[in-house]
Structure formats: structure tokens, C-alpha cells
Structure 1
Amino acid sequence: MKSFLESTLTRAWLHRGALACALWPVSLLFHAVSRLRARLFGAGLLTSHRLPVPVVVVGNIFIGGTGKTPLTIWLAVTLRAAGFNPGIISRGHGAAGSAPRAVTPDSLAQDVGDEPLLIARRTGCPVMVGRDRPAAGRALLAANTQVDVIISDDGLQHYALKRDVEIVLFDGRGAGNGFLLPAGPLREPVSRQRDFTIVNAPLLTPRLAATVGGQPFRMQLAGTVAERLTARATRMALADLADLADLKGKRILAAAGIGNPGRFFAMLRAQGLHFAELPLPDHHDFLDQPFARVDADFILITEKDAVKCGQIEHLRNDPRLWVVPVTAQLDGALAEQIVEKCRGCSTA
């Protein structure tokens, strides 16, 4: 029932149909409450904390997966290449407890969340999770005195933490029907101020650029190889896998427990692959053994799902599982602008 309701709303959010219009009055109330909350923080009636280093917030106003994790990884790599020592804070979806907790490459996904664990492994940066973002930031700085800039992953609406740079990410769905929750997919209006706007899409059309506002940069996720989960050093080009499947009749299943599984499937098709699809809920824990009765020679999964599958006994030894890493590709001019803005930030 829950998945049915979610899929119904997701479809409704892309158009101004009967359901969206029926929910529109409720979205006005949501807008009023969220605007009041932002104004209370702005007026100092609700406390907003400043950390002693610049804070870069990566987030979205479109609910659901737009590609924040690959963007956060790209941003950390970019800032490090520019001479910074970045640290990353995150809520940690599904993380155990509320107190700040350090994330290491050996952490359990059930303790710290799948996305922070993936970020820690891909970047090598200090990562701290916690519901209280200012507390997580202070804990990270106390444990890692070399950190001189903090990236807040998915922290756009967490106004309790002051920020110096805001990056808003959209994907090919743009702003959907343009309504706020629950009539549409938006947490805040598109007119919301921000420093940088990024659109995760194969093509940034003038119409798409106009719907998201600002002067958007395009981000593209590139994934061209698969790595065997049981031995990540064993790699195969996706184009070679497509040829193998065509020549020898190998059966392929693609599974994705991310916010927008369709984007993962579309990327694989662009590599010439033909496969059955298994979309799963975002942050799926895989404890229901979704591959137990799957008749496939290859099962392609995302890196986010791999951090969990690799910690489950019956999955980490399944030779059919292959991981498809993705890398965010963005304009070098955007990197320069973000770096310069960070360098120009004053610290407390």
C-alpha cells in the first residue's frame, strides 16, 4: 500500500492533474509554515549556529533522489584538489541513534546510513553523521583539526546551521508540476535564493533550465564499467557486457534502491544493455532477499546498494552481483566559482 501511494503521488507530481489540484490548498498551508520557519531563523528567533570554517550545503528542493551523493563526492574531490581539507556531515538515513557518529570505510550501513558510508569510502574525507547538523559539524572539527571547510550533504532546509555556499540540485524532472508538498514535489519554491543551481540530466534544454531558475550548470553521471561485488578489482566494460549478453544469451537484471531508479536504468541502456528492471525503495536494506528467486546471469546494482549488499552474508558472496560506479561530470568553470567563493568566506 505504501509503495502504491508513493508511486501515485510521484506520477501526480509531474503534472497538474486532478489529484495535484485537489491537494493544492494543503500545499498553501505547507508553504506558509515553511516560510514562517525560514523567517524565524532569519530574524534570530530560532537559533542558527555558525561553525568556524566555511560551510557548503548541497541539497534539493525536489523531494527524492536527484543525485546529491555523486555531487557531494565530486565537490569533496574538487575542494581537495584546490588545496582544502574538506569534511562532510550528513543526517545518515536510517542511522542508529541521534548523537554524532564518525563514519569510517568499515562502518556498518545500518549504523551510519548507506550514503555517508559510500561518501567516506569514495572520498577518504572525514565524515560525521547526526540529526543535529551543528553538533555533527562541531564533533567533526573536534576530531579532525585539519578540516578547513565542511560540506553538508542534503542540508538545505536545516537552517539551524548557517551556511556560506548553497548548491541546489535538480534532475531531468525539473520542478515537476511546480507545486509544493503535498500537491507537488517541492519542499520550497523554485524562486528560493541559492548560490549555484545544478541539473543532473543528459541534456539541459532551455525549457528545463527555465523551470529550475537561476543560471544552471549541467551535471552528468558517467558509468561505463561494472565491478564484481565479490572482487571489486574484477572489472568489465558495460559495452563488453552488452556484447556478451547478445552473443551468448546472458540474462541481465538491473536493480536499484535509489530515489530515482529510472535514471540508473537509462544510463545502462545508453551503454547498449538489455535487461529486466527491479526498482526498489530508496535506502532498501535487502534483508528480504530480492535476488533469491531471480533467474539472471548478471545482476547490476548501484554503489549505494553495494555498500549494504557487501555487508550481508548471502549477498556479498553472490557471484552474479556486479556494481556500477558512477562519477559526476561538471563544468570546470563551476568548480572554479565554488572554490573562489569558499576562499572568499570569512570564518568565525
Structure 2
Amino acid sequence: MTPLERAWYQGAPWLALLQPLEVLYRGVVRRRRAAYRQGRREVWQPPVPLVVVGNLSVGGTGKSPLVAWLAAWLVAQGWRPGIVSRGYGGKAPAYPLLVEPTTPVAHSGDEPLMLAQQSGVSVAVDPRRPRAAQALIESRGCDVLLADDGLQHYALGRTLEIAVVDGERGFGNRHCLPRGPLREPLERLAAVDALIGNGGLGPLSKRDAPGVPRFAMQVRPRAWRHLLSGETRPIEQPPFATDTPVEALAGIGHPQRFFATLAALGVTHRAHRFADHHDFSAADLPEGDRPIVMTAKDGVKCRGFADERCWVLDVIAAPDAGFERWWAACVDQWQRPS
């Protein structure tokens, strides 16, 4: 966590000095959204349902595990879902890029490659998300699209919006950038179709998005996976001694969540924190012979130089039953694939 992020979530009083910049930022955000809603900027509405899974806060909230869960659910119901992403951190030779499990992470970015490998569904990245959506429909025959992030990308029309909230950190001091962590004012939540709290709904007050359905979700550890061989072990059977410290690497939006999960599993570890989307290199792997454990998102960037010590802790989203019923009711309103 950077000093500024720490200030956002600890309520540092000096942030009040940034109020003029926050007012300016909020004005820009408000005018930009109004331009799309009033037709002064073009919105491309895909011919198939499109669901945006996003958030208001800077940093990770658990969007990608939920996207993977939604994709698996749709596949089980006979749909052909595709995942749209901006491809943050990647630079492809050409766009749109249809991501394969073997695509270089430098081209796709970490989260799209992780989702392609985990979900097995088609993934496309493009800074211009409508082009990625069109590629999935035309090249892969996708009949429903999931946008990983993109709540603020109004050029892409959507059928549903699901906002994910970090159930531990919430909205920090509830101010917009740069005074706080919000990319849009909290009033924006009133326009989404559902709120889902990753780890619970504690940060949401009754005044936040009244009338919008809200649900809880847990992101649970699923298996230990050897980064080079792909061998998996049950979560109850760690491939290393849990009473001897392992080296734990995390370059995600909220690394403390990963370290807390290891602690809950009884794994003694030494934490190595990196910035979100950190560009890992071999020099980042700790020296010595201790096992190294990392997130799946970091694993896709480390595989090219990993050694036998490297393991990934795979996780899976577990929304509550109420969310699944709500989601099924929404999908039932769409035209079924032929």
C-alpha cells in the first residue's frame, strides 16, 4: 500500500487540502458521464447481453474471481460467454487481441491471461472495449459478454452492472480522487443493478444505493498449484511444511488479503508486497531454498522464470445463494442461445 492509499483508508486529516482537486475531478467525471447519457458521445450497444463487473475504488476488490464464477455458471447453462478486458499492463502487437492460455503476458496483461487460463472461455482485450466485444461475437460466436472492470467505460453499452465492494476496506474515506480512492462519487452506486460485498457488506450503509439489491461473496482458496508442472494439491494438503516460513509474493490491489488467507490456512510466511500489476522479474524471487507462494494473477507473470520452489494459491468466488437466484432470474429474461 502506497503512503497515499494508506492515508485514504486511515482517514488522514491532511487529505482535506486536496478538496479543490477533488471538486475538479468530480466535475470532469460528471460531465463525461452526462456526455454519454445525452448522446454527445457514441455508445456501442452489443447485440448480445453484456454484463459489467466493476467497482468504484482504486485497487482490487475481487472482480476477476466473480467474473470467472459468472462465466462458469453461464457455460453450465448452455451459453457461450466471452470476457472483455482493457488489458491493463499489456501491449499487444495489434488489437483486438484474442487471448489464448499461451499468449505472452506482456501482450495481454495479467488479469486477462489469468482469466483465459482459469475459465477456458474466450477472452479479448483492447483499449477500445467495443472492438474487443465485436471480436468475441464475430470470431468466437459468443452470445453473452462479461466485462472485467469497465464500470466507468461508458462507450460500451451494457445490459447489467454489478459493483463489487471490498468488504474489509470499503470505500476508505468515501472521497473521490485524489482526496480518496473513489473513481466516481458514491451516488453512482444507485445506478447499478446489484452490489456484492467481497467478504461481507459491512462497509455499506443504509444510505448507499437504497433499493439496489445487495449480496455477499467470499473468495475462498481452492488448491495449491505448482507453477511449472501444473500439479495441484488439495488445499488441506499444502506441498510444504506449514510451520516453516515460506516466501509469499503478492502484487495485487490488496495484498494483505492474500497474506491473511495464508495465515488462516496456518501457513507461516514472510510477506513480500509489490504494487498492483507489478512487472515481475527473476530478481523479485527471494533467494534461498524456501518454497515461494504467490497469487494466480502474479503467477502468469512469473512462469517464464519460475523455478521448482514456486507454487500458486488458486482461489474461487463463492457468492451467497441469494445472488445466484438474482443472477438466474436476470439471465432468464435474455434470449436463449439457439
* Aligned residue identity for 1:271: L
- Greater mean alpha carbon deviation, residues 258-267 or residues 209-218: 209-218
RMSD, aligned CA: 2.0
CA shift for structure 1 position 139 = 1.3
**Hey, what's the Cα distance between the residues in 2 that align with 1:342 and 1:121?**
25
CA-to-partner distance for each residue in 1:136-192, whole Å, 9 max, x for gaps?
1111111012x1110011111010011010010111211110100000000112221
Partner of 1:327: 316
Partner of 1:131: 127
- The 5-angstrom pairing of residues 150-161 of structure 1 reads 150-161=145-156
Identity between Structure 1 and Structure 2 (%): 39
Contact 2:293 2:312 in 1 (8 A): yes
User: Secondary structure, in 3 states, of the residue corresponding to 2:331?
Assistant: helix
- Greater mean alpha carbon deviation, residues 334-343 or residues 35-44: 334-343
Which of 167, 171, 175 pairs up with 1:179?
A: 175
- Greater mean alpha carbon deviation, residues 118-127 or residues 97-106: 97-106
CA shift for structure 1 position 239 = 5.9
- Greater mean alpha carbon deviation, residues 188-197 or residues 336-345: 336-345
Partner of 2:304: 311
CA-to-partner distance for each residue in 1:222-281, whole Å, 9 max, x for gaps?
115322222222425356567x333xxx33111111111001001111111221100111
**Hey, what's the Cα distance between the residues in 1 that align with 2:14 and 2:290?**
42
- The 5-angstrom pairing of residues 80-95 of structure 1 reads 80-95=75-90
**Hey, what's the Cα distance between the residues in 2 that align with 1:10 and 1:102?**
34
**Hey, what's the Cα distance between the residues in 1 that align with 2:79 and 2:234?**
34
Q: Given the two structures, how large is their TM-score scaled by the length of structure 2?
A: 0.91
**Hey, what's the Cα distance between the residues in 2 that align with 1:23 and 1:268?**
37
Q: 1:271 to 1:58 in 2, by over 3 A?
A: same
**Hey, what's the Cα distance between the residues in 1 that align with 2:234 and 2:308?**
14
CA shift for structure 1 position 37 = 0.6
Contact 1:239 1:273 in 2 (8 A): no
User: Secondary structure, in 3 states, of the residue corresponding to 1:267?
Assistant: helix
Partner of 2:247: 253
* Aligned residue identity for 2:136: L
Partner of 2:219: 221
- Greater mean alpha carbon deviation, residues 280-289 or residues 118-127: 280-289
Contact 2:242 2:266 in 1 (8 A): no
Tell me the matched-pair count.
330
**Hey, what's the Cα distance between the residues in 1 that align with 2:286 and 2:9?**
34
Unaligned runs of 5+ in 1: 1-5
Q: 1:343 to 1:237 in 2, by over 3 A?
A: closer
CA shift for structure 1 position 16 = 3.6
User: Secondary structure, in 3 states, of the residue corresponding to 1:276?
Assistant: strand
Residue 46 in structure 1 maps to residue 41 in structure 2: yes
CA-to-partner distance for each residue in 1:3-34, whole Å, 9 max, x for gaps?
xxx61110111144333211122111111110
Q: 1:151 to 1:108 in 2, by over 3 A?
A: same
Q: Given the two structures, how large is their TM-score scaled by the length of structure 1?
A: 0.89
